[in-house]
Amino acid sequence: MDHIALVLEHLSKIELLILLPLAVLGGMVIGAIPGLTSTMAVGVLLPFTLFLDPLTGVLILVGIGKGSLFGGSISVILMNVPGTPAAACTVIDGYPLAQKGQAGRAIETALWASFIGDLMSVVALVLLAGWLASFGQKFGPKEFFALILLSLTVITALSQSGLLRGICGGMLGLLLGTVGLDLVNATPRFVFGSDNLAEGIPFLPLLIGLFALPDIIEHYMSKARDLKPHVIDKTRYTRADFRKTLPTILKGSAIGITMGAIPGIGATASTFISYAEAKRSSPDRAEFGKGALSGVAAAESANSGTKAATLIPLLALGVPGDVITAILLGAFYFHGLTPGAAAVSAKTCPLSMLSISRCSYRVFAF
């Protein structure tokens, strides 16, 4: 009860009620613009939050990161361009729905899936932080190798053009991943004398090139210059759609929470694993790749579930779950907060405050 009273006291601050919704809205805009990443936004705004109350400053950064996940699905569904790497899996079914004139229905599906996925991950953050953090800490080299192998096998499930093409695409991806400095000896590989390739090929520009450029080239190579935009009808995300996609949303949220509790995994891998599982078990799996609502729900629930779960190892053990939580760790230190085992047992534990506040701004986004 003391924690709840403390949370309500902080939520009643006028600056928090104003800045937190603006942070979520700003994160959605950043996520919807291809090329702008939530990591860049959080890193740029970090110095400005140092002049605010510690809780307000940290929650603004969390709000930007969380809002950008849903914002990334907007550009994917409408333009076939991933706004964030975590939205790369949403494009498989989101854009085909827009081509059918059901963009609004797809965006509402992504919104509901994101809301439920985030809510479930918040509950896990409050109730299961210690257990999930200890589970993530048990992952060693063998477990990470098995997880990477599982991610590679997902390529087979996601391949729409046959097993051979899926394997070739995966091998090409592995080859592109070798570009840059070797992680062990720091020797350059396939950089061709360019310092810009020393850190490897950036993931987001690669995604934009893979998904956006083909449409641009097809448009200008087409003989029909009077191409008409897709007609957006008035179809909405109905209760029947909700009942149909709810099992997929719950399953994707659970996968996202589990993957987020493991440091270093992130939302991108969890979305593909969730999508592959949904394609295997969903009743409408024949529609996957052609505009299935379950495909959108699986991807969006997983990435939203992952985002809150990455705070579990940060708050429980002081270990960042992904790049954004690594920046948040610096924000904690700047504000004089020390996340970890000592903080979890302390009376002024920020865990409950962060969690319940996350519910408030997610309801605003909804």
Give the tens place of pLDDT for each residue, 82-141.
Answer: 767 777 788 888 888 888 888 888 889 999 998 998 889 888 887 877 676 666 667 677
Q: What is the pLDDT of residue 365?
A: 36
Higher pLDDT: 52 or 208? It is 52
Higher pLDDT: 44 or 341? It is 44
Higher pLDDT: 73 or 44? It is 73
Distance CA 360, CA 20 (A): 9
In this predicted structure, the answer to whether residue 343 has a pLDDT above a threshold of 50 is no
Rg of the chain over CA atoms, in angstroms?
A: 21
Bridge partners (DSSP) of residue 188 are 181
- Under a CB-based contact definition with an 8 Å cutoff, are residues 227 and 275 in contact? no
Q: What is the pLDDT of residue 329?
A: 78
CA distances from 337 to 3, 20, 240, 256, 315 (A): 17, 20, 46, 27, 10
Give me the torsion for CA of 188, 192, 197, 202, rounded to 10°.
-120
| pTM of the model as a whole | 0.70
Work out the mean pLDDT of the chain and round it to a whole number.
Answer: 75
pLDDT winner (highest mean) among 52-61, 214-223, 230-239:
52-61
Where do we find the tokens 């949220």?
Answer: 253
**How deeply is 235 buried, as exposed, middle or buried, from its count of CB atoms within 10 A (0-12, 13-18, 19+)?**
middle
In this prediction, what percent of the chain has a pLDDT beyond 90?
Answer: 2
How remote is the C-alpha of 93 from its chain's centroid? 17
pLDDT winner (highest mean) among 77-86, 270-279, 325-334:
270-279
Q: What is the pLDDT of residues 166-180, one digit of tens each?
A: 677 778 878 887 888
Distance CA 249, CA 154 (A): 19
In this predicted structure, the answer to whether residue 252 has a pLDDT above a threshold of 70 is yes
Where do we find the tokens 């990334």?
Answer: 72
In this prediction, what percent of the chain has a pLDDT beyond 70?
Answer: 73
Higher pLDDT: 319 or 227? It is 319
Higher pLDDT: 143 or 350? It is 143
Q: What is the pLDDT of residue 250?
A: 92
Question: Encoding tokens for residue 365?
Answer: 């986004």
pLDDT-derived band of residue 334, with 50, 70 and 90 as boundaries? confident
Number of residues in the chain = 366
pLDDT-derived band of residue 264, with 50, 70 and 90 as boundaries? low
pLDDT-derived band of residue 3, with 50, 70 and 90 as boundaries? low
Helix intervals (H) in the chain: 2-11, 14-32, 38-49, 54-79, 91-99, 103-127, 129-137, 141-158, 163-177, 203-221, 239-260, 266-281, 293-309, 311-317, 323-334, 341-345, 350-365
Higher pLDDT: 264 or 124? It is 124
82-91, 156-165, 239-248: the lowest-pLDDT one: 156-165
In this predicted structure, the answer to whether residue 227 has a pLDDT above a threshold of 60 is no
First-to-last C-alpha distance (Å) of the chain: 27
In this predicted structure, the answer to whether residue 245 has a pLDDT above a threshold of 80 is yes
24-28, 230-234, 310-314, 317-321: the lowest-pLDDT one: 230-234
The conformational region for residue 186 under phi > 0 = left, psi -120 to 50 = alpha, else beta, is left
Bridge partners (DSSP) of residue 181 are 188
